[in-house]
Amino acid sequence: MKKYGIFLKKVWMGVFFLTLNSSFLSTFIKAQQKVTLDLERTVRLATDSSLAAQRYQSVYDATRFQYLAWQASRKPQFSLESTPVTYERYMTQRYLSAEDVDTYRQQRTFYSQAGIAATQNMEPWGGQFYGSTQLGYLRTFGDQNQTQFMTVPISFGYRQDLLFYNPLKWARQIEPLKLLAAEKTLAYGIETTSEEAVGKFFTLALAQDQLRMAEEYLASCDTIYAIAQRRYKISSISKAELSILELEKTNARTTLANARLQRQRASQALATYLGMDRNSDIELVIPTVVQNFRVDADEAIQFARENNPQYINSREAVVEAQRDADRARVEKNLSLSIDASVGLNQVSDNFSGAYRHPLSQDMATITLSIPLKDWGKRKNNYLAARSQVEAAQRAQQETSRDTELDVALSVADFNERQSLVETAHHALTIAEDAYAQTLQRFIKAQADAYSLSLAQSHWQTARQNQIASLQNYWLSYYHLRRLTLYDYQRHQVIRPAVR
């Protein structure tokens, strides 16, 4: 076995010098940035720098700011409400008692008003408490100029649009669910980015290995063709066999050119996705499997129930449907709103007098609407809202069923992948050994060109299968991470790094 290995090393040394010369040429043609990437660093770059990750972050930020706005709305709100200047000039009708006639006179007025208003939502009842203080100035120009100040030193009241329905209570349930769903959706999106990065990583790994195999294959064809020429001269092989080997050499050059193009495309695709210079010279460190690493299906399903955003989104949809049904139930019978306030006010021709001896100011409004004959409109709206609740609950059950099935299948797939990687590695060892033996037998004229070509094809296929098995293993693992938002290697829930 040692002599077979020594022979292969000689062949690969030729490939090494061929690759070295081509790298020097490429350095003169175009300077490239050398980057070494392992799988972990690739995933980290994808989640930190890729445009997809930034897009997911922006979507989350929009929901987070909406949540902060809702939180702020629960606190007292203060505002300055003012009409700084209002000037009017118009004709108005007046009655002259001395002459017992109506006449039109020109009227000019200047008005300015300002006030401070405060509001506070009352979550226990669903209404709003409000208060204000105001100051107004009125100047009238005409036959008799007049100045007046109007003040409301204090006024406060309470309003509620619909009794027996509390939208603030429902908002207190829904808004935190929206934020939680946004956080989980962000983590889900980041894991989607990770899974895509893993796919591009192994696409480049396959392309790089295909390029190495093409280089090795061409060097091997050169060596074998040289040997075949010597054997042909001594009539050890036929002209047809020599022609086949020459054709293999020609095909090897074409395969090498195509492999270089595929490798360049895969490298640029990965670099662009990671936010790097697309002309970066990427060198990959191929990962291995985690030995004796298995995932329990029941635990994975429980992690999915707690973390998968589809569960939270479906739960939010049910609560929103219940809110709409609650409102439709109240409106089905009657609509009732109230608005009541008490305060003080005063009017005077001077500023200080407007705050002296204020008078009471009271206001109360009750608005009631009872349907007498609406041809079933409100009743059907209520029934439609109840049907929406049932539909949301059915959708929640379907989401739970489908996601749990996906998790269970993904766990089974991942647990099986480790043995498949080991099988692929064992097959590679056998194929490599078989190729070395066939090559040695060909040199000794104990095997024909077809057997050598077949052994080399098996060896190359086994190499590709090994990388593909590693690709499927890690894609399966990151797919499972995305479904459950759980890191099984570090034993922790995956939470996004919120800005």
Q: Is residue 36 part of a domain?
A: yes
Same domain, 158 and 48: no
Angle of CA points 114, 117, 122, to nearest 5°: 170
pLDDT, residue 127, reads 92
Record the pTM.
Answer: 0.79
Q: Is residue 74 part of a domain?
A: no
Q: Is residue 478 part of a domain?
A: yes
Instruction: Considering only CA atoms, give the Rg of the chain.
Output: 40
Same domain, 307 and 452: yes
Same domain, 155 and 182: no
Burial of 197 (0-12, 13-18, 19+ CB in 10 A): buried
pLDDT, residue 299, reads 94
Same domain, 354 and 449: no
Same domain, 58 and 133: no
pLDDT, residue 233, reads 74
Same domain, 305 and 428: yes
Q: How many Cβ atoms are within 10 Å of 399's Cβ, its own excluded? A: 17
pLDDT, residue 444, reads 74
Among 316, 365, 432, smallest CA distance to 4 is for 432
- Of 352, 369, 386, the one marking the end of a domain is 369
Same domain, 145 and 178: no
Among 368, 314, 310, smallest CA distance to 162 is for 368
pLDDT in tens, 418-437: 889 989 989 989 988 988 88
**Token reading at 304:** 């999915």
pLDDT in tens, 237-265: 667 777 777 777 788 888 889 999 999 99
Same domain, 157 and 183: no
Q: Is residue 328 part of a domain?
A: no
* CATH number of the domain within which 435 lies: 1.20.1600.10
Q: Is residue 377 part of a domain?
A: no
Angle of helix 2-29 relative to helix 377-443, nearest 10 degrees, comes to 120
Number of structural domains, the chain? 2
Q: Is residue 427 part of a domain?
A: yes
Same domain, 144 and 272: no
Residue range(s) defining the domain that contains residue 364:
83-122+127-162+338-369
pLDDT, residue 236, reads 65
Same domain, 148 and 235: no
Q: Is residue 329 part of a domain?
A: no
What spatial distance separates the first Cα and last Cα of the chain, rounded to whole Å? Answer: 58
Could you read off the pLDDT tens digit of each residue along the chain, which spans 499 residues? 444 444 444 444 444 444 444 443 344 334 457 889 999 999 999 988 788 888 999 999 999 999 999 999 999 999 999 999 999 888 888 777 778 888 887 888 999 999 999 999 999 888 999 999 999 999 988 767 889 999 999 999 999 987 788 999 999 999 999 999 999 999 999 999 999 999 999 999 999 988 988 888 788 777 777 777 776 677 666 677 777 777 777 888 888 899 999 999 999 999 999 988 888 888 899 998 888 889 999 999 999 999 999 999 999 999 999 999 999 998 888 888 999 999 999 998 888 888 888 889 899 998 888 888 888 888 999 999 999 999 999 999 999 999 999 999 999 999 999 889 989 989 989 988 988 888 788 777 777 767 877 888 888 889 889 999 999 999 999 999 999 999 999 999 998 876 6
Cα separation, 424 vs 476, in Å, equals 17
pLDDT, residue 223, reads 76
Same domain, 350 and 231: no
Q: Is residue 382 part of a domain?
A: no
Same domain, 197 and 156: no
